[in-house]
């Protein structure tokens, strides 16, 4: 079961709980195939960790001393089964990731308390336009942060949960959350030292090795054990 946001067949924006392909909202039940999914979170900001999987380094001595962070803006949001228009015909890379949705306002929180402010987890694609150097243009174009399909309880996920990314059915990324250099609590604690995290804010936790460029018409999937599978296609 997970929290979703969607447009119903009449175009009304709703929120509800999704279980086994059915969505319940305000006493009504919808087939998930009959709705248009929206981003399950409404953040004021999307804080992203770069180079946060151990497999991206040759030796542990290369791990960063603190998280390498950047920010995406809310216009970057997209949802499950939506089409993302790529800003360039080549070198727009996918990066499958675990997304953390914040449930309570926090500032200067300790690592030991950090999970208390987490609403849940969802799947994400941190799209990156590598044809440009400017980080805002590269990381914050419209649709550059698809999320979904649902926000699920952190209890569904462990450090051994697998993450796998597929393009047109072919696996490109495969790892486990135990490979994170900085854990979810460590990321929350670090970010909260300099930014107030608000309810709905999203933290992207980094992507394992294997990211690659997308082409017109590709179908992207990222599946995280205990969370679900985010699917979307891309066009030029």
CATH of the domain at 200: 3.90.850.10
Looking at the whole model, is its pTM more than 0.95? yes
Q: Exposure of 151 by Cβ count < 10 A (0-12 exposed, 13-18 middle, 19+ buried)?
A: buried
Cα(54)–Cα(36) distance, integer angstroms:
36
**Count of structural domains within the chain:** 2
Question: Quick one: pLDDT band at residue 233, thresholds 50, 70, 90?
Answer: very high
The mean pLDDT value for 120-137 works out to 97
Query: What pLDDT score was predicted for residue 192?
Result: 99
pLDDT tens-digit series, residues 156-203: 999 999 999 999 999 999 999 999 999 999 999 999 999 999 999 999
Mean per-residue pLDDT over the chain, rounded: 97
Domain match, 130 and 89 both: yes
Residue 87 and residue 14 share a domain: no
Confidence category of residue 112, pLDDT binned at 50, 70, 90: very high
Average pLDDT over residues 207-222: 98
Residues 119 and 203 in one domain: yes
* Mean pLDDT along residues 24-34: 96
Integer Cα distance of 140 and 126 in angstroms:
9
Please check whether residues 22 and 138 belong to one and the same domain.
no
pLDDT for the residue numbered 88: 82
Q: What are phi and psi of 147, to 5 degrees?
A: -130, 150
Q: Residue 29's pLDDT band (boundaries 50, 70, 90)?
A: very high
Residues 190 and 173 in one domain: yes
What is residue 165's predicted lDDT score, i.e. its pLDDT?
99
- Domain span at 18: 1-37
């Amino acid at each position: 079961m997970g929290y979703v946001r969607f447009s119903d067949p009449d175009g009304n924006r709703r929120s509800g709980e999704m279980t086994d392909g059915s969505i319940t909202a305000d006493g009504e039940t919808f087939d998930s195939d009959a709705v248009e999914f929206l981003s399950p979170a409404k953040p004021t900001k999307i804080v992203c960790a770069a180079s946060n999987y151990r497999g991206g380094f040759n030796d542990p001595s290369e791990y960063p001393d603190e998280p390498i962070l950047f920010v995406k803006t809310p216009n970057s949001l997209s949802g499950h089964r939506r089409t993302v228009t790529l800003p360039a015909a080549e070198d727009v890379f996918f990066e499958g990731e675990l997304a953390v949705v914040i449930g309570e306002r926090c500032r200067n929180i300790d690592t030991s308390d950090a999970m208390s402010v987490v609403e849940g987890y969802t799947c994400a694609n941190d799209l990156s336009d590598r044809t440009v150097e400017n980080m805002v243009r590269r990381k914050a174009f419209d649709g550059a942060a698809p999320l979904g399909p649902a926000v699920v309880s952190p209890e569904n996920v462990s450090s051994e949960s697998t993450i796998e990314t597929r393009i047109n059915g072919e696996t490109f990324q495969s790892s486990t959350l135990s490979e994170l250099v900085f854990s979810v609590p460590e990321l929350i604690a670090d970010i909260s030292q300099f930014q107030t995290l608000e309810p709905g804010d999203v933290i992207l936790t980094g992507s394992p090795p294997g990211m690659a460029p997308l082409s017109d018409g590709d179908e992207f999937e990222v599946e995280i054990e205990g969370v679900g599978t985010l699917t979307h296609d891309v066009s030029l």
